[in-house]
Amino acid sequence: MIITVTGAAGQIGYALLFRIASGAMLGPEVPVSLRLLELPQALEAAEGVAMELDDCAFPLLRDIEITDDAAAAFDGANVALLVGSRPRAAGMERADLLSANGAIFAPQGRAINDNAADDVRVLVVGNPANTNALIASAHAPDVPAERFTAMTRLDHNRALAQLSGATGAPVSAISRLTIWGNHSSTQYPDLSHARIEGEPFEIDRGWVEQDFIPTVATRGAAIIAARGSSSAASAASAAVDHVHDWVLGTPVDDWTSAGVVSTGEYGVPAGLVSSFPVTSTGGRWTIVEGLEIDEFSRARIDASTAELAEERAAVEALGLLAPA
Ligand code: NAD
Ligand code: LMR
């Protein structure tokens, strides 16, 4: 399989590429060809990463190509991991950030449209991930919108870890947890349908509302405060999990969370790329339908969805959703 990674010389790239090449993402039987897209000034650093990949002598790694040309990078790509993006700088307004990222994700969407394999699956990691996915998809009219996804698996994994820590249940015993909405602090980590050892369980509402939800929703900022830079290894691990489950399927009786295009499920306006509970079979995400949504959950899903709608309106106003 041909795997394209953008921002390959960045800190997530450094954690991600070795996991992909080891077979963690697509399994121990699937050889991988890596295509690394970087900015011209980071090509030399990407060469260094490629030297280290060579030095691992991964049996599944067929070849590595490094380029600053998006058409070449996405040529024949089966999986595209869009990691490279413009971080928010001091004094930058949200519109500035959305506009800077539009300049990245619009041309990359076009390059995917024109060059990638017919079965291409796209995961956007670069922030603001949901809206960047929307922009890329808008510029790839020949690729079904459902193939553009945004990463909320890191939030899902963070929620699993928090619940495991609070209950003592191993992560492997927890199922049916959901992240709704945007990959931002408005996201809603939802335990209403969660199970431990396959059974519903009692949990203190005060802990859920005052501890669990804010801890998961602001974990990215807490990592930045502690590390001095944003999450990298955990983000890479979540990207591996997302693509692994998308291609190879989710476990029976469980679901995961992913930012996928809404067709109106749970009142989320159609066209928004929002996080939902999802299963995957046959290489396709399906939104889990029919879950009961109580008043508490409704308000939080609506708040995060409203933020996504605002982001969409902002990029629409900037002309970033109109294919050139
Ligand atoms: P980084 O700054 O270390 O690396 C980004 C890399 O992208 C750099 O090497 C840069 O040269 C490259 N780049 C920038 N524009 C590019 C373009 N147009 N084409 C190709 N490459 C380009 O950043 P990082 O820590 O690796 O994080 C990358 C992104 O992932 C950030 O936007 C970050 O906020 C986001 N992130 C998302 C999640 C999530 O859960 N969705 C989690 C962590 C980080
Ligand atoms: C994260 O969730 O760790 C990243 O999206 C970084 C951030 O800005 O929160």
State pLDDT tens for residues 70-117. 999 999 999 999 999 976 666 777 778 888 888 999 999 999 999 999
Task: Strands of 125-211 (E only): list them.
Answer: 148-150, 174-175, 178-180, 188-190, 195-196
Report the nearest-CA residue for atom 3 of ligand 2.
220
Known catalytic residue: 139?
Answer: no
The SS3 call for residue 216 is helix
Q: Which ligand is closest in space to the CA of residue 83?
A: 1
pTM score over 0.80: yes
Q: Is 64 annotated as a binding residue?
A: no
The confidence score (pLDDT) of residue 89 equals: 67
Catalytic pick among 183, 193, 242, 244? 183
| CA-7 nearest atom, ligand 1 | 7
Quick: pLDDT tens for 16-65: 999 999 999 999 999 999 999 999 999 999 999 999 999 999 999 999 99
Report the nearest-CA residue for atom 36 of ligand 1.
126
152 lines ligand 2 (CB under 6 A): no
Q: What is the mean pLDDT of residues 239-258?
A: 97
Q: Is 158 annotated as a binding residue?
A: yes
Report the nearest-CA residue for atom 18 of ligand 1.
104
**Domains of the chain, earliest start first:** 2-150 (3.40.50.720), 153-311 (3.90.110.10)
Q: What is the mean pLDDT of residues 209-222?
A: 96
The confidence score (pLDDT) of residue 95 equals: 76
Burial profile 21-55: b = 16 or more Cβ within 10 angstroms, e = fewer: bbbbbbeeeeebbbbbbbeeebbebbeebbeebee
Whether the pLDDT of residue 324 is over 70: the answer is no
% of the chain at pLDDT higher than 70: 98
The confidence score (pLDDT) of residue 117 equals: 98
Strand-strand pairing, 256-261 and 121-124: unpaired
Q: Is 227 annotated as a binding residue?
A: no
Query: Which DSSP helix (H) or strand (E) runs through 34?
Result: strand 32-37
83 lines ligand 1 (CB under 6 A): yes
pLDDT level of residue 293 (50, 70, 90 thresholds): very high
**Strand order across the beta sheet in which 256-261 lies:** 61-67, 32-37, 2-6, 79-82, 121-124, 148-150, 256-261, 273-281, 284-287
Ligand 1 center to 13 CA (angstroms): 8
Quick: pLDDT tens for 113-148: 999 999 999 999 999 999 999 999 999 999 999 999
The confidence score (pLDDT) of residue 281 equals: 97
Whether the pLDDT of residue 156 is over 70: the answer is yes
What does the mean pLDDT of the chain come to? Answer: 96
